[in-house]
Structure 1
Amino acid sequence: MTTADAAHEPSAGTSRRDVLLKVAADLFLRNSYDGVTVDMICTAAGISGPGLYNHFANKQALLLAVVESPLAALHQFARETAEAEPDPRAALEILVDFHIRSVVTSAPTTLVFMKNEHALPEKDRRRIRREMNLYAEEWISIVAALRPDLSEPEVRLLTHTVFSMLNSVATLNKGLDHESIIKTMSTAAIQALTSPGDD
């Protein structure tokens, strides 16, 4: 191993694959798929070009992993939370906190997907959309229990609007520390999802 390679070794507990996923997610969020090259990804990750192909067959496979890996984790967490926490208010607070923390530490899956879905085969796009819908359904069922004043379409609209608000943090953050962002956005999301509207 050369000195240059050693300098780019991932920190303890972080694999090269994880570094590639994080770097690629940031690049795919801020640039179009066609505007991101393998060289750009490797340079930002601090690895050689061949190093990427040890983990992903090509750039398209990397994009797919960037979207699917965190989405699966979000859905699994939401499902387990809904099953384990009988109090819908407590469950919602847990989901909001987890979602915001995922957004401030890595590029939001939804935004990356929407910006680059044209680069994926239709079968992959359908599978990802289905997973996104299943994740949203976990939230919708909880919000519906807390908002009997709303119809089902209204609950869906409200929930998806809050998703958009939370995901926008990744592009709107102007230097606030993570805990300040989490506190501000958690308060806004919980209030939006649970406060009855005026008659």
Structure 2
Amino acid sequence: MDREAAVVRRPRGRRTQILLAAAEQFHRRGYHQVAMAEVAAAVGITAPALYRHYRGKPELLRQAVRGGLDELDRAVTAAGTRPERGPVALAEALAAVALDQRALGTLCQRDARLLPAAQRSELRRQLCATVRSGAGQLRAARAELATSEAELLLWSALSVGGSLSYHTFAPPRRRFEQLLSGLLCGVLDAQVDTASDVRSKRRVDEDEPVGRREELLAAAVRLFDERGFDNVSTDRIGAAVGIAGPSLYKHFPTKVDLLAAALVRCRERLWHEVAGTLTGPGEPTAMLVNGLAAYVDFARRHHHYLGAMVSETERLAEPDRTRAVDFRRDFLRLWVDLLRQVRPEYDKAEARIRVHAMFALVNDGVRHPAWRRTGQPAPGLAQLAGTVLGLPGTA
């Protein structure tokens, strides 16, 4: 055999193929549910061949996130070369990345929590640098904005783009780009009001846990949200409430049962406090405005519950997972149906995309220091979310 013919050449871009396959599988199934052999099979190679490219699954995850952030940074930098177009260029760049890197939202928010602290910090610094760059472009177009305000709008725009990670709705590409660019332009053009709402008397910490079971639920859901279900031991949960880890089993048979109980509690509160404002007799626009205010208030007080609901539902056993998914579907349908009454020109796909974008903006926004530094909901967050929904008078 000819020596040259006997040489096995690796396909060009193999590392990129592996990263894309890994990112897609992590996004759809969750980091801990994906084996290296499955990633290898997705690109038509063996697991040992995969290890010649990447040392292990943590390295795959880190590089997948880093690759997505590199794409984001390149897009923001390119938008800066068109200053005459102002925020429109930035919105179009962010929309293109959101569509092309649809897995990036879940990789950054859900899976990157599982990386070592030093690697998480490195990725966070990279993202923050991109936000500062975009904020500088925004301030060049909107001189009235302070640096902190411009950065807040950039973070909000990233939340809207990242919302695509949490659903599969996909109108035709051109229409999708136009819709998403319009949503992002609305966010980047918005006014910023981080003052507290003095009319609200409810504090973020109003709902203090009562009893050991409730303490365990509150502590566990905070840790699951911050660190990820698989990174939290029963010993850590017990220590958070001052008991030994094995004592947890007096209240819950397993850690998965604890997660299931926490998410049931979240669904009960969410339905009781928010869903009721979206149903019943009343003028649709007023009901939607009231529902949005209720959701922002709920998210301020229970952001850990919402975070765990978004990121940890797939860790549930059947039929708990089915019930959780059914609840999310029903809750989304309430918003979509009411929004289409207020804005009948929206078809179902556009209404769903807007509602998902609103959820992401609020869920992320309540964690931002600018919105959390007071004990009350800031009216600007609800106003920004109303802009994403297309509420009359908010654009």
Task: Identify whether the pair has TM-score above 0.5, normalized to the shorter chain.
Answer: yes
Match of 1:136 among 316, 319, 332: 332
Structure 1 residue 196: deviation in Å? 8.2
Q: How does 1:6-25 map to 2 (within 5 A)?
A: 14-25=210-221
- Does structure 1 conserve the Cα–Cα contact (< 8 Å) formed by 2:275 and 2:291? no
Letter paired with 2:374? D
Runs of 4+ with >6 A deviation: none
1:178 paired to 2:375: yes
Query: CA offsets, 1:52-92, max 9 Å, x none?
Result: 23322221111111212111321244443233451222222
Query: CA offsets, 1:132-154, max 9 Å, x none?
Result: 11111111121111112211211
In structure 2, the residue matched to 1:70 is: 266
The percentage of counterpart residues that share the same residue type is 24
With the length of structure 1 as denominator, give the TM-score of the two structures.
Answer: 0.80
User: Bigger relative contact order, structure 1 or 2, given CA contacts below 8 A and separation 6+?
Assistant: 1
Indicate the SS of the match to 1:56: coil
CA RMSD of aligned residues (A): 2.7
Count of aligned positions: 187
Structure 1 residue 44: deviation in Å? 1.2
Structure 1 residue 16: deviation in Å? 2.0
- Does structure 2 conserve the Cα–Cα contact (< 8 Å) formed by 1:75 and 1:131? no
Higher CA-based Rg: 2
Q: How does 1:1-199 map to 2 (within 5 A)?
A: 14-173=210-369, 176-179=373-376, 181-193=377-389, 194-195=391-392
Greater displacement, 117-126 / 132-141: 117-126
Indicate the SS of the match to 1:178: coil
Indicate the SS of the match to 1:168: helix
2: distance between equivalents of 1:12 and 1:150?
Answer: 40
Extract unaligned runs of 5+ from structure 1. 1-10
- Does structure 1 conserve the Cα–Cα contact (< 8 Å) formed by 2:299 and 2:366? yes
Structure 1 residue 12: deviation in Å? 8.3
2: distance between equivalents of 1:115 and 1:148?
Answer: 32
2: distance between equivalents of 1:53 and 1:93?
Answer: 43
